[in-house]
């Protein structure tokens, strides 16, 4: 009779949260209680596997390896974890186990807090490279919400300013550490900009007015020593004005938690959805009133983040899996609280299967990790193709040799023909046998030239193939190390991506087969 595996994991990151519910003992209690309530499981023998102090992003954990060994030996019929991230924080890995390995081995997988039981999700056998389950989406969302450290929370709540340089209009206090105070000169400029906007001027008009008044720029006011050193003319830009009008810091608000590092599979920092930013009101002295700020915002609908952060590498590649139409990219703007892709046609066609929207940041992360995985797989396959490459090399060498031989033979034939003519000219042979022999040699020469053309064609084909393989390998190696999805990588490798209502995605690759 197969056993039920209880898998427990606690990592260093988890202890940071001071979340008691993650401790090994409370994981154990939760799982045991769950099993006790399950008719079918409660009768089974239990086997506990535990990894204390191991991160979920790596599968090299002694406990999990032992458990997987037992699973492969057919001694485990069911695995129970508190939540999926206990098993793995690498969603590719997790998906591979859930969608492929466990179903293949006939192992049931239960993640209690995710309300997931593989028995209720049968038939979801889409290959993992291209398909993602809703649950992985949940896992992702849950993970990014746990990111701002408690220490930062309390610092900000106490009115401390714990980040680099103070925004324009403010400076760091020299008396009290980590506190921002108003810088009168800069504040005057900020207030001026707000009052011009309040009067109905656009950002461009404001920038022009500031330049007409020869108002020094932020850069000039802040770094007097760097003034025009590089010979560039400094002027207020629309962008700079927008940047100020768009900053709620002038309302006395402090916002933080805009980027996050700590979540599934990520190495680089990512922007968090605006809804998850934390804001503290009355953090410092405001430069504008809420009334002015709101009115300015209503005039300047669409002033939002800098345009340069608006670019998304996946624009133009995303298609709705429900209706097949391209999806529109919606940047952060006005009511949009997070960057996303939306189905163009849903509003008019009302197709129920449409993927109405998909978070752009999440999509970017998913695509990045799938792409890297794919590149690594192909890189491995390429390494295994070493024998193919050496075969190609041998072919090339053989062809070269044959070509050289062919040329040599033709030379010999030409020589023979010349000799033949000489014999004939010297009267050593009659005209009939000369003609006969000469024709034979011409025929032989012709056959050799035909063969040479064939060989050359073959040679070029195989050399081209060989060069492509090498080039592909180089590209794969280069891109499999990227930490952020770049436009270049998307253009090279991805044809299009279909996204589905249940948050699955399907990638059509550009790879040469
Ligand atoms: Zn659609």
For the stretch 432-477, pLDDT in tens is 988 899 899 889 989 998 988 998 888 888 888 888 777 777 777 7
For the stretch 73-132, pLDDT in tens is 889 999 999 888 788 876 667 777 877 778 778 899 998 877 778 887 654 443 333 233
Distance 222 CA to ligand 1 centre (A): 49
Tell me which of 159-163, 300-304, 332-336 is least confident. 300-304
Backbone angles phi, psi at 117, to 5 degrees: -140, 115
What's the pLDDT at 339? Answer: 84
What's the pLDDT at 58? Answer: 76
Q: For 218-223, what is the mean pLDDT?
A: 78
CA 382 from centre of chain: 22
Three-state secondary-structure class, residue 497: strand
Number of helical (H) and strand (E) elements in the chain, helices listed first: 19, 17
d(CA 78, CA 94): 16
Distance 374 CA to ligand 1 centre (A): 27
Distance 92 CA to ligand 1 centre (A): 26
What's the pLDDT at 387? Answer: 65
Grade residue 226 by pLDDT with cuts at 50, 70 and 90: very low
What's the pLDDT at 512? Answer: 65
Structure token digits, residue 469? 């393989």
What's the pLDDT at 236? Answer: 85
Checking if the pLDDT of 67 tops 90, the result is yes
314 within 8 A of 363, measured Cβ to Cβ: yes
Distance 342 CA to ligand 1 centre (A): 8
Q: For 31-42, what is the mean pLDDT?
A: 91
**Residue 163 or residue 41, greater confidence:** 41
214 within 8 A of 158, measured Cβ to Cβ: no
Distance 355 CA to ligand 1 centre (A): 6
**Residue 376 or residue 243, greater confidence:** 243
Residues near 338 by beta carbon (within 8 Å), at least 6 away in sequence: 273, 274, 275, 332, 359, 360, 361
Distance 373 CA to ligand 1 centre (A): 28
Distance 183 CA to ligand 1 centre (A): 51
What's the pLDDT at 231? Answer: 56
Distance 118 CA to ligand 1 centre (A): 29
Distance 327 CA to ligand 1 centre (A): 8
Structure token digits, residue 416? 């023979």
Tell me which of 35-39, 219-223, 355-359, 404-408 is least confident. 219-223
Sign of the four-CA dihedral 300, 301, 303, 308: negative
Distance 372 CA to ligand 1 centre (A): 28
Identify the structural domains of the chain with CATH numbers, from first to last. 3-141 (3.40.50.1390), 159-252+287-303 (3.90.1750.20), 304-513 (no CATH)
Grade residue 47 by pLDDT with cuts at 50, 70 and 90: very high
Highest average pLDDT, of 135-139, 260-264, 436-440, comes from: 436-440
């Amino acid at each position: 009779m197969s056993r039920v595996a209880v898998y427990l994991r606690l990592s260093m990151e988890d202890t940071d949260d001071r979340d008691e519910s993650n401790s090994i003992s409370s994981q154990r209690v939760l799982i045991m209680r769950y099993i006790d309530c399950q008719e079918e499981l409660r009768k089974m023998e239990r086997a506990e596997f535990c990894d204390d102090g191991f991160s979920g992003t790596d599968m090299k954990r002694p406990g999990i390896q032992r458990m997987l060994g037992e699973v492969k030996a057919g001694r485990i019929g069911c695995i129970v974890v508190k939540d999926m991230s206990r098993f793995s924080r690498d969603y590719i890995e997790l998906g591979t186990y859930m969608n492929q390995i466990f179903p293949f081995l006939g192992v049931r997988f239960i993640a209690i807090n995710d309300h997931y039981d593989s028995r209720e999700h049968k038939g979801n056998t889409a290959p993992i490279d291209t398909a993602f389950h809703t649950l992985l989406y949940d896992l992702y969302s849950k993970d990014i919400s746990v990111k701002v450290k408690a220490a930062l929370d309390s610092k900000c709540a106490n009115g401390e300013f714990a980040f680099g340089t103070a925004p324009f209009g403010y400076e760091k206090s020299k008396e009290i550490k980590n506190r921002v105070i108003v810088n009168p000169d800069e504040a005057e400029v900020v207030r001026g900009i707000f009052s011009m906007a309040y009067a109905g001027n656009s950002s461009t008009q404001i920038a022009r007015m500031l330049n007409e008044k020869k108002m020094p720029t932020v850069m000039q006011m802040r770094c007097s020593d760097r003034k025009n050193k590089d010979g560039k003319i400094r002027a207020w830009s629309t962008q700079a004005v927008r940047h100020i009008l768009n900053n709620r810091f002038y309302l006395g608000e402090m916002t933080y938690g805009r980027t996050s590092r700590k979540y599934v599979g990520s190495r680089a920092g990512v922007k968090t959805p605006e809804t998850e930013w934390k804001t503290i009101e009355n953090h410092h002295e405001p430069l504008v009133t809420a009334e002015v700020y709101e009115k300015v915002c209503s005039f300047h609908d669409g002033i939002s983040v800098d345009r340069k952060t608006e670019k998304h590498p996946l624009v133009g590649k995303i298609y709705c899996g429900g209706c097949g139409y391209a999806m529109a990219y919606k940047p952060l703007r006005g009511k949009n609280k997070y960057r996303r892709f939306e189905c163009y046609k849903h509003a008019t066609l009302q197709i129920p299967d449409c993927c109405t929207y998909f978070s752009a940041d999440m999509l970017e992360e998913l695509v990045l990790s799938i792409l890297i995985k794919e590149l690594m797989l192909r890189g491995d396959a390429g390494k295994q193709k070493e024998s193919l490459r050496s075969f190609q090399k041998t072919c090339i060498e053989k062809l070269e040799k044959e070509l050289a031989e062919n040329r040599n033979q033709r030379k010999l034939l030409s020589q023979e023909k010349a000799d033949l003519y000489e014999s004939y000219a010297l009267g050593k042979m009659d005209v009939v046998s000369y003609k006969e022999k000469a024709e034979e040699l011409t025929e032989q020469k012709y056959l050799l030239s035909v063969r040479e053309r064939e060989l050359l064609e073959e040679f070029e084909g195989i050399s081209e193939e060989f060069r492509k393989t090498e080039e592909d390998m180089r590209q794969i190696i280069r891109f499999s190390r990227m930490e952020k999805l770049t436009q270049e990588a998307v253009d090279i490798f991805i044809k299009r991506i279909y996204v589905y209502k249940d948050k699955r995605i399907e990638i059509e690759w550009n790879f040469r087969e």
